[in-house]
């Protein structure tokens, strides 16, 4: 039985895109670091099992990560997907799930890691922006890239309009990356990801209007 664990801290819009897609997944569990996360209610509406590991109940990051890893392991997931999970994970945690822990970031990595990506993109005057699904490594927002989506930065863009259009693409590519992994179509070679049996409609650099 193929199992997916999704980690959230807030409203979980990327979580919802994964729940809607579902793909070749038999069981999905949503775990939140925040007991008040709106995404928990969304997950319940989809009939998905939920757990809460409240980070405020633990003395430090290491003990929180240990409890979180134990909860995740109890569900025996094939893949763990971060979806707005607002906690920096310890190296030990990341290494424990190495090769089966993915994240989506609102920039074309390696550009603009960290927070405030849309404001920084506008400040730098770049013409192309987007989002990236990647394997998680101990280095923040730095890991083998699975798929990216690129959009133009328009002359009238604000931080809010840019964020909205990037989020639309996040919802498009994250389910695709998860589906590839669950179908055993991702091959990780050192720092590079190869998608097996990919077609034109499943290219790993997505630009709206270029493919489906």
Does the active-site annotation cover 118? Answer: no
The two tokens of residue 146 are 């699975």
Q: If DSSP codes are grouped into helix, strand and coil, which group holds residue 159?
A: helix
- The DSSP result for 54-86, as a single string, is -GGGSSSHHHHHHHHHHHHHHT--SEEEESS--
Q: How far is CA 51 from CA 36, 37, 129, 141, in A?
A: 12, 11, 34, 25
Question: How many CB atoms lie under 10 A from the CB of residue 137?
Answer: 17
CB-based contact 4:175 (threshold 8 Å): no
CB-based contact 81:5 (threshold 8 Å): yes
Catalytic residue among 55, 75, 96, 105: 105
Which residues are catalytically annotated? 105
């Amino acid at each position: 039985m193929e199992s997916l664990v999704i980690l959230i801290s807030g409203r979980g819009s990327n979580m919802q895109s994964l729940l809607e897609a579902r793909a070749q997944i038999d069981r999905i569990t949503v775990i939140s670091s925040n007991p008040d996360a709106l995404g928990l209610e969304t997950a319940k509406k989809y009939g998905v099992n939920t757990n809460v590991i409240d980070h405020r109940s633990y003395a430090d990051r290491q003990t929180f990560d240990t409890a979180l890893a134990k909860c995740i392991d109890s569900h025996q997931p094939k893949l763990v997907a971060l979806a707005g999970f607002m906690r920096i994970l310890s190296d030990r945690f990341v290494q424990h799930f190495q090769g089966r822990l993915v994240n989506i970031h609102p920039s074309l990595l390696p550009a603009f890691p960290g927070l405030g990506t849309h404001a920084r993109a506008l400040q730098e005057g770049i013409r192309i922006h987007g989002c990236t699904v990647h394997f998680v490594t101990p280095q923040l927002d730095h890991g083998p890239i699975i798929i990216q989506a690129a959009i133009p930065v328009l002359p009238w863009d604000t931080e809010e309009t840019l964020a909205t259009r990037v989020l639309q693409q996040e919802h498009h590519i994250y389910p695709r990356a998860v589906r590839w992994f669950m179908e055993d179509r991702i091959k990780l070679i050192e720092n590079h990801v190869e998608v097996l049996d990919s077609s034109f409609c499943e290219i790993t650099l997505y630009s709206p209007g270029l493919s489906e």
